[in-house]
Amino acid sequence: MARKTALRTDLRARRDLAAAQADKNVAAQVSDVILFEVLADLPLARKATIGGYFPIHSEMSPLPLLAQLVEMGHQTGLPWVIDVDVPLVFGEWAPGEMSAEGPFGTRVPKAGAAQFVPDVVLVPLLGVDAAGYRLGYGGGFYDRTLKKLRQAGDVVAIGLGYECQLLEEVPRGVHDQRLDWMVTEQGVTCF
């Protein structure tokens, strides 16, 4: 536990520095890579459902990608935290629409937004290792969510971040879920 705490502190500092030094168009560049190199190779339905997130702190923003996906006719949304130890639920939302304040400084869909099950989940992170296991903030929300979605069918998990967040190995437990892809400002990794 102490190792994860120290690693989280280090990775947050690395990410903060990378975000401060990054080109102002980095999120749009990463979005284009996801759209034209990752999603283009997946057997998605014509109108796929994509679960995104509203970036906090120095997280890589998926908002440019979500805007492009909406323009293409896909359904996008943000997660709701229902309770501790419960998987996330996704509600329909698109950039430019009203949102509400959520826990941990996040933004969530407005009350009454339609719920959906995503085909693709864009995942925030502090770090990811060479096998695709991520280190998040410690709540386990995305691990529980990916496990539930994978038990019900196919879902693709894509991490967004900076090259400095790639590690050889992160501490992991039996409930940790692997990402399928990681996209940074320097490239794409398929796990």
pLDDT digits (tens, 9 = 90+) for 102-128: 888 889 999 999 999 999 999 999 999
Predicted local confidence at residue 189, as pLDDT: 96
Domains contained in the chain, CATH given: 2-190 (3.40.50.10420)
Are 78 and 54 in contact, with CB atoms under 8 Å apart?
A: yes
d(CA 150, CA 177): 10
Q: What is the DSSP string of 59-112?
A: PPP-HHHHHHHHHTT-EEEEEE--STTS--EEEE--TTS-EEE-GGG-EEEPTT
Q: Which two tokens stand for residue 140?
A: 């386990």
d(CA 100, CA 119): 24
The one-letter amino acid code at 6 reads A
Predicted local confidence at residue 44, as pLDDT: 80
Are 185 and 26 in contact, with CB atoms under 8 Å apart?
A: yes
For the entire predicted model, the pTM comes to 0.95
Predicted local confidence at residue 16, as pLDDT: 97
Mean pLDDT for the chain overall: 95
Query: Which of the given ranges, 1-5, 80-84, 121-125, has the highest pLDDT on average?
Result: 121-125
- Judged against a pLDDT cut of 80, whether residue 167 lies above it is answered with yes
- Judged against a pLDDT cut of 90, whether residue 43 lies above it is answered with no
